Amino acid sequence: MSSGRHILVIDAGSSSVRSLIVQDSGVIIGEGRSQISWKHRNPGWAELDPVALWKATRQTILDAVIDAGISVNQISAAGITSHRETIMIWDKTTGEPVHDALVWISNQTDEIVERWEKSGVASEFKKRTGLHNDSFFSAGKIVWLLENVSGLREKIRSGKYIAGTVDTWLSWNINGRTLHVTDPSCASRTALFNIHDLKWDSELLNLLNIPEEIFPKIIDSDGDFGNVDRAILDADIPICAVMADQQSGMFGQACFTDNSIKNTFGTAGVLTVNVGDKPREVAGLTGSVAWKVKGEVKYEVEGVVFHSGQTIQWLRDNLGIYAPANRIDQIVRSVSNNAGVYLVPALGGLAAPYWNRKARASIQGLSLDTSSAHLVRAAVEAMAFQTLDIIEKLSEFPVEQFKVDGGAASSNFLCQFLADISGIRIQRPIELERTALGTAYVAGLRVGIWESLEEISNSWSAERIFEPNIKDSEREKLVNGWKDAVTKTLIGSGKK
């Protein structure tokens, strides 16, 4: 049995939910995992069952404790990190959702977003919330529910119905349905939160005809989110950390100083920059709250790529291009180059820095010599090229190196290719699981397991550093090929 103090972290990602037990050394010693399925009622729509999500989460908590081989009394605190923008409304007396949750990637709110664009409301989003008027964010999803769930507005007037993103739904269930709360990092991804005033934007909500009373109370990222319900774990375990997944990953990567950068290669790809104690605006990117810990607020600028690791899964599961047992790096390295093949994975549109939801995926440069390995290589290269598109928007930030994490960051080919085309040093940490670790750190700081950010920063170390290693002429040729492919994809959508 493990000795010392431990943190329970619930990590609700886009494709799976996991619970992890993190030791006071920062090592993960136990895990429970369950896959999450989306529903696709119509093309482009994506929804998930909140009740199924909660049941899966509860089981992973129990599985993680068993896997760690510890007593529940050895758990000092709990934290929650979750994917962002997905939102739902439910009956607070029964816990019954009024409809399945609308997932971040879903485009069923496109008509609402276009309506706001035509009415002139769109400009308010960036100014107030740091985000774009886009179906990606929660604002349109809430309005879709209000407009499409019969009698919902009348039900809300009864005071029985509340709303929240995934973190709020899970914390509400885990704390025994006693507190309806969220933190600034999660709230700041809804496009309804004023990042300057750090509160729900009443004027914007009124403008969009969204009732403010359904939203959770916003507290610090290391605030009091209640205690784990003893019906789940029979011990006194405070929930004292909630963070959005990408912001949590930045904390886990010890990006505590201004201009420090990390990129996560997950289902989506997200590059985040710590921009300090004031919001910053960068064309094509979004601004959000990174966290509010120990009373101090940090902001981030980020670029989101809708389809990163998901593109590889799509090639495997939908197209059968390669078998699950095959190692990606081996496939990619089985060909010497991409043979001029570029895959622009706009499977649900293009996000940063283009923000074109009408764009559709394209594969360009095919010939009789193209093999399945070339397609896989093009997909992996696209993960790096899309990251480069975001890096190029950071001209006002000194980018000499940055950290990577996420499952796909285990690929030596991907990390080296990113270093080559960007000309930037890439640092890969010993432990790639930084998202859950970030939330563990926040909870651990609250209960005294870790004493300071400096202690956490000193514990970070690189497993490998990737230095740029190609000629400028080769880099230019590769990047120009990608840019040409993106341009053609955008033209195909009717927008350049």
Are the beta carbons of 413 and 332 closer than 8 angstroms? yes
- Three-state SS across the chain? CCCCCEEEEEEECCCEEEEEEEECCCCEEEEEEEECCCECCCCCCCEECHHHHHHHHHHHHHHHHHHHCCCHHHEEEEEEEECCCCEEEEECCCCCECCCEECCCCCCCHHHHHHHHHHCCHHHHHHHHCCCCCCCCHHHHHHHHHHHCCCHHHHHHCCCEEEEEHHHHHHHHHCCCCCCEECHHHHCCCCCEECCCCEECHHHHHHCCCCHHHCCEECCCCCCCCECCCCCCCCCCEEEEEEEHHHHHHHHCCCCCCCCEEEEECCCEEEEEEEECCCCCCCCCEEEEEEEECCEEEEEEEEEECCCHHHHHHHHHCCCCCCCCCCHHHHHCCCCCCCCCEEECCECEECCCCCECCCCCEEECCCCCCCHHHHHHHHHHHHHHHHHHHHCCCCCCCCCEEEEECHHHHCHHHHHHHHHHHCCEEEEECCCCCHHHHHHHHHHHHHCCCCCHHHHHHHCCEEEEECCCCCHHHHHHHHHHHHHHHHHHHHHCCCC
Distance of CA 14 to the CA centre of its chain: 8
Where the chain has pLDDT below 50, the residues are: 1
Which amino acid belongs to residue 319? L
Q: Which residues contact 100 (CB under 8 A, 6 or more apart)?
A: 39, 47, 48, 49, 50, 88
Token pair 């640092």: residue: 427
CA distances from 71 to 1, 32, 163, 439, 442 (A): 8, 16, 34, 21, 22
Q: Cα-flanking dihedrals φ and ψ of residue 344, to 5°? A: -100, 105
Token digits for 62?
């129990």
Using CB atoms within 10 Å of the CB of residue 171, give its burial: 0 to 12 exposed, 13 to 18 middle, 19+ buried. buried
Q: Cα-flanking dihedrals φ and ψ of residue 25, to 5°? A: -85, -5
Q: Is 120 left (phi over 0), alpha (psi -120 to 50) or beta?
A: left
Peptide bond into 97 cis (omega under 30): no
- Each residue's pLDDT tens digit, 444-472: 999 999 999 999 999 999 999 999 999 99
Q: How many residues does the chain have?
A: 496
Provide the β-strand partners of residue 161.
Answer: 91
CA distance 436 to 456: 14
Are the beta carbons of 269 and 383 closer than 8 angstroms? yes
Q: Cα-flanking dihedrals φ and ψ of residue 89, to 5°? A: -130, 140
Residue 349: CA atoms inside 13 Å, Cβ hemisphere, count? 23
Helices 166-174 and 50-68, axial angle in degrees (round to 10): 60
Are the beta carbons of 312 and 351 closer than 8 angstroms? no
Provide the β-strand partners of residue 75.
Answer: 6
Q: Cα-flanking dihedrals φ and ψ of residue 429, to 5°? A: -75, 165
